[in-house]
A and B are shown apart, each in its own frame.
Chain A
Amino acid sequence: QSVLTQPPSVSGAPGQRVTISCTGSSSNIGAGYGVHWYQQLPGTAPKLLIYDDSNRPSGVPDRFSGSKSGSSASLAITGLQAEDEADYYCQSYDRSLSWVFGGGTKLTVL
């Protein structure tokens, strides 16, 4: 049982927009800690996709965007491409547990 809750899977056709939700609590996201998103392609290490709710590291396409409201956050991917098929994880900091992750969401591009 992960501290942050994500849907196990989402899917979309090429070119479409998909969103992945991440729900926390008053001890992590709701406490004001930033939400970070990672993309993990099959067989590889996770890659930081979004940091501090909505910021993209250099090199990440602007098709990826993040937002946060209260104790929840969302990752949006527009113009879906085949290479976006991967596992996506949200992360935040928790007052009592240090770093916490969501259970991960598998994105399937139809």
Chain B
Amino acid sequence: EVQLVESGGGLVQPGGSLRLSCAASGFTFSSYWMSWIRQAPGKGLEWVANIKQDGSDKNFLDSVKGRFTISRDNAKNSLYLQMNSLRVEDTAVYYCARDTPNKKGHGYWGQGTLVTVST
């Protein structure tokens, strides 16, 4: 059974940093692109970043470029999102999701972890 479990969310002040983790199991992690997708309270879904199977290609939402970094450790079946210079508007539930091959959407999602940026 495919499982994605996020951790690392919490309350942080504006300008602060946070590192999210996603532990994957039930599939060959190293064979899939992986994404982070977020949802602000009461709002819609917003793709944040994704990373290629071997980490050699990464893409980011314009508003997080230069502030967020995505990485993965295939030996540990883990995905990460390093978030720096956090802003109030980054407050959201952050989901880890597995990209489906050939851009057929995201077939599996974690339960999400809440990041709150506030004073």
Cα–Cα, bound, A45→B59 (Å): 22
A98 touching B50 in the complex, CB below 8 Å, given contacts A38-B45, A45-B111, A51-B100: yes
**Interface hit among B8-16, B20-28, B82-90, B101-109:** B101-109
Contact pick for B104, options A2, A34, A100, A102, CB 8 Å? A34
**Is A109 an interface position by the 8 A CB rule?**
no
What's the A-B contact tally at a CB cutoff of 8 Å? 56
**Is B29 an interface position by the 8 A CB rule?**
no
Number of A residues with CB within 8 Å of any CB on chain B: 23
Q: A89 and B103: CB pair below 8 A?
A: no
Minimum distance in angstroms from A33 CB to a CB of chain B: 6
Kindly supply a per-residue 1/0 record for chain A positions 49-84, scoring 1 wherever the CB is within 8 Å of any chain B CB and 0 otherwise.
001100001000000000000000000000000000
Q: B105 and A91: CB pair below 8 A?
A: yes
Q: B105 and A101: CB pair below 8 A?
A: no
**Is B66 an interface position by the 8 A CB rule?**
no
Q: B35 and A99: CB pair below 8 A?
A: yes
Name the residue among A2, A45, A91 with the largest chain B CB count within 10 angstroms. A45
Q: B50 and A99: CB pair below 8 A?
A: yes
Task: Select from chain A the residue with minimum beta-carbon distance to B112.
Answer: A45
B44: chain A residues at CB < 8 Å are 2, 89, 101-104
**Is A14 an interface position by the 8 A CB rule?**
no
Minimum distance in angstroms from A91 CB to a CB of chain B: 6
B95: chain A residues at CB < 8 Å are 45-46
B19-72 at interface with A (beta carbon < 8 Å): 35, 37, 44-47, 50, 59, 61-62
A100: chain B residues at CB < 8 Å are 47
Cα–Cα, bound, A69→B79 (Å): 36
Task: Select from chain A the residue with minimum beta-carbon distance to B49.
Answer: A98
Binding site for A on B (CB under 8 A): 35, 37, 44-47, 50, 59, 61-62, 95, 100, 103-107, 109-112
The 18 listed contacts between A and B (C-beta, < 8 Å) are A36-B105, A46-B45, A46-B95, A48-B100, A48-B105, A51-B100, A51-B105, A51-B107, A52-B104, A91-B105, A93-B103, A97-B62, A98-B50, A99-B35, A101-B45, A101-B46, A102-B44, A104-B45
